[in-house]
Amino acid sequence: MVKKKPEEKTEETKQVEQATEKKPRKTKAPKIAKSETQAQPPIEAKKIESPKIPETEYIAEVNIGTIGHVAHGKTTLVHELTGKWTQEHSEEIKRGLTIRLGYADFTVRRCPKCSEPECFTTAKKCVKHFEDTVPVRRISFVDSPGHETLMATMLTGAATMDGAILVIAANEPCPQPQTKEHLTALEIGGIKNIVIVQNKIDLITPEQAKLHYKCIKDFVKGTIAENAPIIPISAQYGANIDYLLWAIEKFIPTPKRNLDADPIFLIARSFDVNKPGTDILKIKGGVLGGILKQGKMRVSDEIEILPGRKIIKGANVEWQPIFSKVTSAFISNVKVNELVPGGSSGLGTELDPFVAKSDTLVGHVAGLRGKMPKVWHKMKLEVHLLERVVGSKEELATQPLKTNEPIMINAWTSRSVGIITKTQGNTIEMVLKLPVCIYAGERIVFSRQIGQKWRLVGYGILKE
């Protein structure tokens, strides 16, 4: 666990806390009986130096995404674990639908006297022994939208995930179209640490739950999630959450980080935190949200943001890098002087807030000045196509890519549209409408337009 001495709150702290403020947890309902499929050997508890350290002073060390079909309970599950409802934007509240990526974090805790898996909880007091629970680790959640028209947003979030929870509603047939599409996206992205949640078991009988469990096993057979645990829960009533926390601790470990590499900050959100009418002397710079993929970034570092700003000069279009300075850094709600890879992070900068408002810089990459990946206006990819198109009810065979065909690409948190200019065997070349900043050798996920929607069809390895 990483610990930090408490600091007094400053004005800069409000730049990140406004989007991550926690709400009180609700009272849990009685537990529903566990499935026999959950019987697993116990795992060792992590050593905690002191259980007296405030919960908010632990820094999130892993990013976990919630994925799955629309209305299967992803946001409800995040709320049950973190106390935060991630649908915060007016249109999301109006429609009851996740549209943008949501972020929340919480601490996994355990009771020293309870046996596994019942010992795992998010409460500070054990309801059985009335003992203080011990923090194990702090986790950040990335809540992804499940609607088919928001697949590009889900792929943006997948670039920031270390592991994933695949949420499947037990009261609907399995698999649903976006259940397949999201699982395929994890497989393409190389995200191997997966826990499957069989949600809404409070709406069906035990016999139906067992039949649905078999459907899930058949669905994941031969996929990257074939050996993933399946945990039946009710997120609405908090049933079997202890088993879910146990599975998260066992199957989604904190990955090893490369702290010696040049820092790469993937921007997944950007915004202006100033309220209308703010005095000009009190205006704060633009805020960047996302994850630090590698390296370390410190307050006062001079940073470069690529691809940068679009400049139109007559018939010519240029992209100029944006330069700024880090004024504050946060991991979850914790203010730090040095940013390291881990959970969802925020950077306060000296940027004009107009440049960062309303997610303008989403998809850009920030790093130390002069130590950035290449910006690509054209790409050459070694293509790997899926056998069938995923995401639609009709499983169509994937056709070869064609010259002059437009495809949508996702590179880290950026997205663009490329026009294929050349195909040769399993290699294609294309011109991008919007440039992207990424290292050669990285995976580029792409979709093609089928009907009126973009459908995931494969990935490519970026070649020089």
DSSP string, 239-293: BTHHHHHHHHHHHSPPPP---SSPPEEEEEEEE--PPTT--GGGPPPPEEEEEEE
Q: Average pLDDT in the 398-414 region? A: 94
**Above 60 in pLDDT, residue 291?**
yes
**Above 70 in pLDDT, residue 282?**
yes
pLDDT at 89: 81
Cα–Cα distance, 372 to 327 (Å, whole number): 20
pLDDT at 97: 82
Lowest mean pLDDT among 53-57, 284-288, 380-384: 53-57
pLDDT at 342: 87
CATH number, position 341: 2.40.30.10
Q: Average pLDDT in the 217-228 region? A: 96
Cα–Cα distance, 410 to 417 (Å, whole number): 9
The model's pTM: 0.84
Domain coverage including residue 353: 264-368
Does 288 map to a domain? yes
Structure tokens at 33: 């009986």
Q: What is the pLDDT of residues 343-379, one digit of tens each?
A: 889 999 999 999 999 999 999 999 999 999 999 999 9
pLDDT at 184: 93
Q: Which residue has the higher pLDDT, 38 or 339?
A: 339
- Looking at the chain, the whole-number percentage of residues with pLDDT higher than 70 is 88
Within this chain, do residues 355 and 379 fall inside the same structural domain, yes or no?
no
Within this chain, do residues 428 and 448 fall inside the same structural domain, yes or no?
yes
CATH number, position 205: 3.40.50.300
**Above 90 in pLDDT, residue 45?**
no
- Which of 334, 350, 368 represents a domain boundary (last residue)? 368
Within this chain, do residues 363 and 399 fall inside the same structural domain, yes or no?
no
Q: Average pLDDT in the 97-123 region? A: 92
pLDDT at 333: 74
Does 119 map to a domain? yes
Calculate the average pLDDT of the chain.
87
Q: What is the DSSP letter of 403?
A: T
Q: What is the pLDDT of residues 139-171, one digit of tens each?
A: 999 999 988 888 888 988 999 999 999 999 999
Sequence-ordered list of residues with C-beta below 8 angstroms from that of 246, at least 6 positions apart, any chain? 40, 43, 116, 117, 120
236, 76 contact by CB (below 8 A): yes
pLDDT at 11: 53
Q: How many domains does the structure of the chain reveal?
A: 3
Within this chain, do residues 379 and 357 fall inside the same structural domain, yes or no?
no
Does 397 map to a domain? yes
Within this chain, do residues 277 and 238 fall inside the same structural domain, yes or no?
no
Within this chain, do residues 188 and 336 fall inside the same structural domain, yes or no?
no
Does 14 map to a domain? no
Within this chain, do residues 290 and 204 fall inside the same structural domain, yes or no?
no
Q: Which residue has the higher pLDDT, 79 or 52?
A: 79
Q: Average pLDDT in the 431-451 region? A: 94
Q: Average pLDDT in the 223-246 region? A: 96
Within this chain, do residues 36 and 160 fall inside the same structural domain, yes or no?
yes
Within this chain, do residues 240 and 131 fall inside the same structural domain, yes or no?
yes
Does 134 map to a domain? yes
Q: Which residue has the higher pLDDT, 41 or 324?
A: 324
Within this chain, do residues 379 and 445 fall inside the same structural domain, yes or no?
yes
- Which of 321, 340, 368 represents a domain boundary (last residue)? 368
Sequence-ordered list of residues with C-beta below 8 angstroms from that of 114, at least 6 positions apart, any chain? 126, 128, 129
Cα–Cα distance, 433 to 312 (Å, whole number): 14
Does 15 map to a domain? no
Does 4 map to a domain? no
pLDDT at 81: 95
Q: What is the pLDDT of residues 9-44, one digit of tens each?
A: 555 455 545 544 444 444 444 444 444 444 444 444
- Which DSSP helix (H) or strand (E) runs through 185? helix 177-189
**Above 90 in pLDDT, residue 289?**
yes
Within this chain, do residues 196 and 72 fall inside the same structural domain, yes or no?
yes
Within this chain, do residues 361 and 386 fall inside the same structural domain, yes or no?
no
Does 5 map to a domain? no
Q: Give the start-end residues of each E strand in 372-411.
A: 375-385, 406-411
- Which of 332, 349, 368 represents a domain boundary (last residue)? 368
Q: Packing angle between helix 206-220 and helix 177-189, nearest 10 degrees?
A: 40
**Above 70 in pLDDT, residue 6?**
no
pLDDT at 14: 52
Q: Which residue has the higher pLDDT, 226 or 464?
A: 226
